[in-house]
Structure 1
Amino acid sequence: MENIKVTLEALQKSISTRMSAFESELKKSRSQSPTIDSLTMEFDNFRTFVVDTLRSIELQVSAIVRANDAMEMRSRRNILLLHGVPEGRDEDAVKTFLDLTRKHLTLPQLSSEAVSKSVRLGHQGKDKPRPLLVKFNSETIRDNVWFAKAGFKGTGFTISEFLTKHRHGIFKAARDLLGVSNCWTQAGRIIALDRHGKRYNIASLSDIENLKQSTASKPSVVSAGVSATDQGIISDAKNKPRRRAASAKRK
């Protein structure tokens, strides 16, 4: 954070110096009857300087956002969300969670001592039950539950990681692009498979834009740069002479 502060102060000083110099040049030009070309050149130089400065500030701000997001995600490392669990009056959230995991997951050793707390997340609504937030006492226990989550398949219950708002937005955008089955998270990291089975770590919306352009520029099936339809045509073309030769021999 201190480095970013120093950088921003240096940029502010640089902009002030450049603006003063530009103002001085304008005053000098007035007394010398400046041409349109000279004023245009001065303006273009100043505009380039401002654009470069703003881009540098944007990079610094992005670095701050990433650092804060990573720190917040680390604080959520021991937390999982259980979705689809009906809400009951005066429910014991820890007991509800343990009853479900013991029934559907292969974790008979899981006990209430493993759970630090369990609460409903968000405001209660009429349409669907709120997610059950479960915080574990250790990463190991949390990971055991996470890797056993396939036991909930077909039950209507699902487990997800407690992503930050920033990462949740990126995760949703990745799923919209590649499909739900091709995107998942692991320890807060967003992982995606493109239609060719290549794996990507998605860290920003710009990564998704790059992936969108990459997938759009490639055919749906890759085999030496030939599409699936063309491969079938070429294959048939190669086989036809052989079929004809075999037919001629039989005759």
Structure 2
Amino acid sequence: MMTRSGKDQQAIIEQIRIQLPAIVKSCLAEINSANASESADLKATLSDIKLSLDSMKKELIKVQESQEFIAAKFDDFEKQLENNTATIKKNEEIIETQKEQIQLLRGRTEEMDRQARLDLLEFHGIPVSSTEDTGSLVMDVIAKITSLDDSNCISFSHRKFKSSDPKAKPPPIIVKFTSRKIRNNIYEARSKLRPAENSPQAHTDTPKVFIVENLTEKNRNLLFEARDLKKELGYAYLWTNNGKVLIRKNQNSAALQINSMEDLNKMNEKSSH
């Protein structure tokens, strides 16, 4: 015979048996609900990741396109640089050729200018007067050193410039002669105008008359520079002949013609070694 306590336990077990399916079903429902929520969140997350990846892909495409654009531009730049380099080189060659042509033209012009002055001489130290006749003044000088007495040997004459300073040296008289032979004879006789060392004229302040060639501006500058170099290097002679500048170390050495500043620089460099 079953006791009361045993009956109660049996009743409880039966009740649990009856309610267990419902409890299990409820639990499964809750689990499925939770899984569904997590799945939705996961889908949302995956969707966001996909959108981010798509955006990154688009950015990468843009970067790639930009790199391709830059590469194409760089290629164009390289080609343009090559073309510009070739053009610059060609222009440099043209400029160099033009420089040579200009130098050649300058040389020809200088030579023409020199030859045009071969009939001219400059007479320095002749005092200025208000009513002077430069031709007569020159002929007075010529008569002292040559047998010439005919003023018709002068084509024209004039003062080179005039100074307003009364203490300034008298400006030279430029003379063109009708004959180069006459001009050369007068130039060769110019040393006769130099007073002797023991003469009274050698020790006075009176302007000394002397004759020089009418040089081109280039050769005039060369002569000026050569005077300083002559003293520095101890050369004995410096003179001009036919409008050219010449220098000589001593009586036994050969005369050197100075055509440019480069010639003077070479002489200076040679003496320093």
What range is the shorter-chain TM-score in?
Answer: 0.5 to 0.7
The reply on whether 1:70 has 2:111 as its aligned counterpart is yes
Tell me the equivalent position of 1:183.
238
Deviation at 1:158? 1.3
Aligned counterparts, 1:85-96, within 5 A:
85-96=126-137
Cα distance change on mapping 1:79 and 1:181 into 2, 3 Å: farther
Deviation at 1:38? 11
| Range moving further from structure 2, 52-61 or 167-176 | 52-61
Secondary structure of 1:135's aligned partner: strand
Tell me the equivalent position of 1:205.
261
Cα distance change on mapping 1:210 and 1:113 into 2, 3 Å: same
Deviation at 1:110? 3.4
The reply on whether 1:102 has 2:143 as its aligned counterpart is yes
Deviation at 1:82? 0.7
Cα distance change on mapping 1:207 and 1:49 into 2, 3 Å: farther
What's the RMSD between the two structures over aligned residues?
3.1
Deviation at 1:136? 0.6
Tell me the equivalent position of 1:248.
none
The reply on whether 1:170 has 2:211 as its aligned counterpart is no
- Deviating 4+ runs (over 6 angstroms): 37-48
AA aligned to 1:61 is: I
Aligned counterparts, 1:49-198, within 5 A:
52-103=93-144, 105=145, 107-126=146-165, 127-154=168-195, 156-179=208-231, 182-194=237-249, 197-198=253-254
AA aligned to 1:69 is: E
Tell me the equivalent position of 2:9.
none
AA aligned to 1:90 is: T
| Range moving further from structure 2, 64-73 or 203-212 | 203-212
Cα distance change on mapping 1:50 and 1:212 into 2, 3 Å: farther
Deviation at 1:130? 0.4
Cα distance change on mapping 1:46 and 1:79 into 2, 3 Å: same
Matched-pair contact (CA < 8 Å) for 1:175–1:182? no
Matched-pair contact (CA < 8 Å) for 2:124–2:210? yes
AA aligned to 2:110 is: D
Structure 2: state its 5+ residue gaps.
1-69, 196-200, 202-207
Matched-pair contact (CA < 8 Å) for 2:245–2:259? yes
Secondary structure of 2:147's aligned partner: coil
Q: How many angstroms apart in 2 are the aligned matches of 1:206 and 1:115?
A: 37
Q: How many angstroms apart in 2 are the aligned matches of 1:184 and 1:48?
A: 45
Structure 1: state its 5+ residue gaps.
1-28, 218-251
> Quick check: which has more Rg, 1 or 2?
2
Secondary structure of 2:130's aligned partner: coil
Deviation at 1:182? 2.5
Matched-pair contact (CA < 8 Å) for 1:178–1:193? no
Q: How many angstroms apart in 1 are the aligned matches of 2:215 and 2:132?
A: 25
AA aligned to 1:205 is: M
Matched-pair contact (CA < 8 Å) for 2:142–2:148? no
Secondary structure of 2:162's aligned partner: coil
Count how many residue pairs are aligned between Structure 1 and Structure 2.
187
